[in-house]
Every structure is written in structure tokens, then in C-alpha cells.
Amino acid sequence: MDYVDGTFTYESGTVAAADFPQTEEPVYILGKVYSALHDREELRHDFVSRLWMTYRRNFPAIGGTGPSGDTGWGCMLRCGQMMLAQTLLVHHCGRDWRWLDDGQRDKLYWKVLSLFQDKKSANFSIQQIASMGVSEGKAVGQWFGPNTVAQVLKKLAVYDEWSNLVIHVAMDNTVIENDIRGLCMGSTDSCDIMGCQNVKGAEGGPSQTNHRLKGKSGGSWKPLLLVIPLRLGLTDINSVYIDSLKRCFTFKQSVGIIGGRPNHAHWFVGFLGDKLVFLDPHTTQGMTDLDDPTSNDQSYHCQYPSLMKVTELDPSIAVGFYCRNEDDFTDFCCQARKHITDAKKTPMFEMFQDRPSHWPPYEPYTGLTPSTTGFTEVGSQDDSDEEFELVG
């Protein structure tokens, strides 16, 4: 798909719509339900308010000598950005926040958006994600899978002191409740170790109270992005998982699903009937310098939904859920047990309250590495002299 002067040209194989189809079936978008007949404007506004990360060209070269564009290899990295951007939008602005194309700069929203601009200094830039991918065995310019991008974002999130978010990647199709509670409330808190400054945030809206919300046990709770990488079949998605997969979009904690077709990633935000609604990163746009006061953010919002049949989905995906506080996480666990793990003969993933005794101890990622300062900040890494090979 390419973008020229406001016109979209879609690649063959992608089922795209200029608008949501007129249907009596409900449309679910990231925990919200709409009527495509009666709630069309609200539905459109919700969709266009999601942050759309696409291929970009002419950004500062990765590592100084690496690629200055990510066309052909960065689609899963962009999808990971979109899932995390949705998490941070809800975290800082609330799920009911909506984008207004009026030239005014909403400070909280703009600060979230700036975390993803194509500069090394931005916490979740393409430069940072691609460079951190080397630690996961991926050369810069090599295509990521859903698990790889989740692992990379987990590492980068440690250095976003403003959001104070923790990312847990549940491996082996298994969610261990008490591992996550310990991560969000326990003494392994990396910001406790590093002395991070806490900032303000509030339930459902703009910043008002401390992000480290009190848990029921009396400790503080760090907001959570839970990512569950899954393989739901061998070469095609197994039909026994389809109902559960669609059910995930009905959870209020949903921040979507990253996946797509082989080597062709999308960020899925909802469904209607047997079709998934997604944002497609396969549009090449020029780099936008968000630090320029004359810049605008229109290229980060897609006017038109893309649709595909759920049966066309590649079986390798990652499902995301954002839990602002302990009550959110408890509610997620209840809903997941009710609709996914306990309701199906072949559940999409499993849940245990405690870690199986034969498993190794859980060791959360803290970001601490041996150095003269005790840890290495992402923003201070010197990668200017490294050379990278562009793969495929």
C-alpha cells in the first residue's frame, strides 16, 4: 500500500474498505461495541483516533550507517509500536480520548506520540526497537515475529520513567497470575532499584494521581501491558480458537492483536462478523519531525479501516491487554477464565495462579547491566559506529 497526496493504493490480497460496511452485526473496537448502522460517527471517530504507525523513509540512519527507511522489513516493529501506543494513550489520556484534527496540540497525547517518532532519542523509535532487537538475535533490517517485538518492547519500557509501565510477556501459552502480581507490586520493581521519579496518572483520564496505584495488599501497583504470544495452528489458524480470539477484542483491557500473514504484519483492533478490523503499516511515508512546531500529526491517523477474514490470519500472533491497576488485572483474569480458559475444550492459552513447581524461578527484566553507573540507559547507548546489514 502506498500513500500519495491523501490517496491510498492497496496491495493485492488486502481486503480494504473506504468505510465500515452497513451491517446489523455489532462492531467491536478494543473493548468498545458499536452499531455500524446507528453509531457510525462514533465508530469512525474511535477508529481514526488510534495511532497508525507505518513504514517511513528518510529518517536518521540506524546506528549512523544503517538503513534510513524500514520499507520491506519494519512492519512488525510498527505493529508493536501501535499496540504499545494504544496502551500509553489509554494510560495517559483514557480510553474515551478522541483525536481532533483541529491544529491544536493536546499536550499529553503529543507527548505519547513523540515517544514513537523516528529519532534515536525517542524511547520507542524504530531506531531503538531495531537496535534492541540485536539482543534478541535479530540484525537491524531483519523481520521480527510477534514474540520478538514484544520482548524488545519489554526491555525498552524499563527506560520510560514517565509512563512507569511494566510489560510482561507470557511464554509457553501460559499466564501465571502471581508472577504478574509480583512484577507489578513486588520488590523486583526496577524503578525502585533505579530511583525513578513517579508521575501523575488517573483512572480513565488525564493525569491526576500517582501512577503507582495502591494494590489491595497495600503495596503500589505499576500499570501493566500483558502480551501473550501464541501459535494457534501449524500453517493456518485452527478454527477452534477463532471464537476465543474474537472474544479478546470485547475485553475492556484489550489493546489489540499483532500478527497478520507470513512476513506481512498488521495490528488488529476489532472485528465484525467473520472479519477482523486492522491497521496496516504497509504505507511508506516521509519522516515527520514532531519536534518541529510547524509539524502536524495527520500521517499518524488512518481514515479507512482494512478488513480481512479471520480464517486468513497467520497462526503466529500476540494478544495484548492493558491493566491500569490491580482491579483491572483481577477483572481480566476473571473474564479470561470465564470466556477462554475454562469455557473451551481447547483453550487459546492457559492460566495458573501460581508458577508450577517444576518451572525455573521467574526473573523479571530490570534493565540493569554492569556499568560504571549501575545500569545503561537506552537513550545513552552509543551505536553511532556500528554497521548493520539490511536483510530482505
pLDDT tens-digit series, residues 111-151: 999 999 999 999 999 999 999 999 999 999 999 999 999 99
For 182, the grid coordinates are: 509480583
Separation of alpha carbons 73 and 25, rounded Å = 36
Predicted confidence at residue 2, as pLDDT, reads: 40
Predicted confidence at residue 379, as pLDDT, reads: 40
Predicted confidence at residue 16, as pLDDT, reads: 46
Q: Cβ(314)–Cβ(237) under 8 Å?
A: yes
Structure confidence by residue, pLDDT tens digits, 290-302: 999 999 999 999 9
The answer on pLDDT for 341 being more than 60 is yes
Predicted confidence at residue 214, as pLDDT, reads: 53
Show which residues are catalytic.
75, 280, 282
The answer on pLDDT for 103 being more than 70 is yes
Structure confidence by residue, pLDDT tens digits, 243-270: 999 999 999 999 999 999 877 999 999 9
Separation of alpha carbons 93 and 38, rounded Å = 26
Structure confidence by residue, pLDDT tens digits, 201-223: 333 333 333 344 555 544 589 99
Q: What is the pTM of this model?
A: 0.84
Looking at beta carbons, which pairs linking 286-291 to residues 24 or more positions away fall under 8 Å? 286/56, 286/57, 286/58, 287/56, 287/57, 287/58, 287/59, 287/118, 288/56, 288/117, 288/118, 289/117, 289/119, 290/110, 290/113, 290/114, 290/117, 291/114, 291/117, 291/119
Q: Which of 54, 9, 50 has the alpha carbon at shortest distance from 287? A: 54
The answer on pLDDT for 165 being more than 80 is yes
Across the chain, mean pLDDT equals: 84
Q: Cβ(315)–Cβ(236) under 8 Å?
A: yes
**Which one has a higher pLDDT value, 68 or 369?**
68
166-169 and 174-176 beta bridge pairing: unpaired
Separation of alpha carbons 319 and 245, rounded Å = 9
Predicted confidence at residue 375, as pLDDT, reads: 29
Predicted confidence at residue 198, as pLDDT, reads: 35
350-352 and 174-176 beta bridge pairing: parallel
Predicted confidence at residue 376, as pLDDT, reads: 34
Name the least confident of 109-113, 198-202, 218-222, 309-313: 198-202
Whose cell is 480458559? That residue is: 341
Neighbours of 209 (CB within 10 A): 11
Measured between alpha carbons, how far is residue 169 from residues 154, 177, 269 in Å?
A: 8, 12, 19
**Burial zone of 334 (CB within 10 Å; 0-12 exposed, 13-18 middle, 19+ buried):** exposed
The answer on pLDDT for 195 being more than 60 is no
Task: Enumerate the β-bridge partners of residue 205.
Answer: 202
Q: What are the boundaries of each domain within the chain?
A: 2-380
Name the least confident of 79-88, 192-201, 235-244: 192-201
The answer on pLDDT for 380 being more than 50 is no
Separation of alpha carbons 73 and 373, rounded Å = 35
Name the least confident of 84-88, 118-122, 218-222, 332-336: 218-222
Q: Cβ(65)–Cβ(388) under 8 Å?
A: yes
Confidence of residue 373 (pLDDT cuts 50, 70, 90): very low
Most confident of 14-23, 45-54, 255-264, 351-360: 45-54
Q: Cβ(116)–Cβ(124) under 8 Å?
A: yes
The amino acid at residue 298 is Q
The greatest distance separating any two alpha carbons of the chain, rounded to the nearest whole angstrom, comes to 62
Predicted confidence at residue 208, as pLDDT, reads: 35
Separation of alpha carbons 172 and 350, rounded Å = 9
Backbone φ and ψ of 257, nearest 5°: -135, 135
For 232, the grid coordinates are: 494457534
Q: Which of 222, 215, 182, 226 has the alpha carbon at shortest distance from 336? A: 226
For 52, the grid coordinates are: 497508525
Instruction: Fill in the DSSP letter of residue 348.
Output: S
Predicted confidence at residue 13, as pLDDT, reads: 40
CA 220 to chain centre: 24
